[in-house]
Amino acid sequence: MSIDIEVLSETYTILKQYIPVKDRQEAADNLMSVLVDLLGDIDLQEFGGSDNNLKKALKEYVEEDTDNYNDEDE
């Protein structure tokens, strides 16, 4: 099954209206933690760029992934 990024972005935009502003970053973080296993890097970057909360969640994921990679090298 392939996930269409446009549909995913549209769905996220609709649903975030129902999430209190104070909880949106946590929601984006949780969503991103699921999507990193389902999307390729290009699609993940595209989706992550569609919203400030998603950008931050993606940035944290990339930094965490890089930290884990560096720990394995040592």
Query: Residue 23: is its pLDDT beyond 80?
Result: yes
Determine the pLDDT at residue 17.
96
Please, which pLDDT band fits residue 52 given cuts at 50, 70 and 90?
very high
Determine the pLDDT at residue 16.
95
What sign results for the dihedral spanned by CA atoms 51, 57, 63, 68?
Answer: negative
Pairwise CA distance, residues 38 & 2, whole Å: 9
Determine the pLDDT at residue 63.
83
Determine the pLDDT at residue 74.
56
- 31 contacts: CB under 8 Å, gap ≥ 6: 12, 54, 57
Q: Identify the helix (H) or strand (E) that includes residue 41.
A: helix 41-48
| Range scoring the smallest mean pLDDT among 10-14, 21-25, 62-66, 69-73 | 69-73
